[in-house]
Amino acid sequence: MAELIAFPRGVPPPESFPKEELVTSARNVILNEGDQILQYGGSMGYLPLREWIADNFDTQPDRVIVGQGSLQLLDTLIKTSLLPGGHVFIEQPIYDRVLTLFKRGGAEIHGFMLREGSVDLGEIELVLKKGVIPAMFYVIPDFQNPSGAEMPLETRKGLIELANRYDFLLIEDGAYRHLRYVGEELPRLYDLDPEHVLHMSSFSKLISPGIRVGYMVGRKDLIETLASYAENTYINASYINQAIISDFIERGLMDDHIDFLKNLYLPKWKKILEALDLYMSGLGEWIEPKGGFFTGVFLKNEKSLPDARTLQDHGLMLMDGCGFFNEGGDNFIRLPFAAPSFGQIETGVRTLAEIL
């Protein structure tokens, strides 16, 4: 049997890792700053990196916490801010790991469908008007995982307006924001309202997932609460990893590296859109992503993804769409295009169309 074509999680390909430069950065920071970074540290994270992040958000480092990936920080936020039975609003589909965290936290989850790439503000306000105010509303405005959607500017503004009127916190996950292949950058929700938005992001898609460095930027009191809980949980996330990234940035490598990544992913992005047009037109609808790692196909005519065993018999590995939904999702397929090769993208999409 041919090799299994995996459209797995949102992983970058190994050729995207700047190994040589990471070796240099590791050497720099261990030798020059070893006394500090090999020691315990404060749970807010390594200051030079927090300063760089703060600059990027036009704010101060006391509004920035760095941890072992942004998911862990979100888990900490849930543990400190969400009571069991508390309301959480999400887009549907949603990044499956975040859905798991909300479920584990005992949240009452309200999913708002992405229709043509956007949630419906009216639908959201209907719920708010009933007095159902969420502890948090989690969104990925830029190149959403798993659908690839980009939140329109009017939706961004509308969400901020609702967050102000009904006083709730928007969690903006910006993991893919810097990987734009076409179109003009839209403002972050955070830029529109730093008091009602907590921005989370990481270096997993920009440098390496394995380095496990993510961050949150938001209201000082929230960041302090996170830092206190983090200290009591794991003392601090490794400064070595954070300092390596900071050194990589200080040496001026980040912009070129992001360009390198875009050049690596752009042809794959083109390839999957071509393959979808060629093979899937009659079977489903999808959002043409302007960046990121994913496109998501919504199957038409009540079709659904065959089970994992059937897929495997045809040489495919795909995640069950239901994992991205609080309810439903049978007809959804996430297609990550950053890691597979051109041949795998072509064959994978064609095979998928054949068995649907």
Residues found near a second copy in the complex (CB under 8 A): 9, 11-12, 14, 17, 19-20, 22-23, 26-27, 30-31, 34-41, 68-69, 71-72, 75, 97, 100-101, 104, 204, 208-212, 232-241
Q: How far is the CB of 15 from a second copy (least distance, A)?
A: 9
183 token code pair: 């179109």
Q: How far apart are CA 79 and CA 132, in angstroms?
A: 20
Q: Tell me how far the alpha carbon of residue 101 is from its chain's centroid.
A: 14
The closest alpha carbon to 95, from 136, 128, 64, 141, belongs to 141
Q: How far is the CB of 194 from a second copy (least distance, A)?
A: 26
Closest CB to a second copy among 21 and 193?
21
Closest CB to a second copy among 144 and 208?
208
Q: How far is the CB of 313 from a second copy (least distance, A)?
A: 25
Closest CB to a second copy among 103 and 115?
103
Closest CB to a second copy among 202 and 295?
202
Q: How far apart are CA 286 and CA 298, in angstroms?
A: 6
Q: How far is the CB of 247 from a second copy (least distance, A)?
A: 12
Q: How far is the CB of 186 from a second copy (least distance, A)?
A: 28
Closest CB to a second copy among 216 and 352?
216
Closest CB to a second copy among 155 and 208?
208
Q: How far is the CB of 103 from a second copy (least distance, A)?
A: 9
Question: Helices (DSSP H) in the chain: which residue ranges?
Answer: 19-37, 47-56, 70-81, 96-104, 121-129, 153-166, 189-192, 220-234, 239-250, 254-279, 308-313, 342-355
Burial annotation 225-254 (CB, 10 A radius, 16+ → b, else e): bbbebbeeeeebbbbbbbbbbbbbbbeebb
Q: How far apart are CA 43 and CA 66, in angstroms?
A: 8
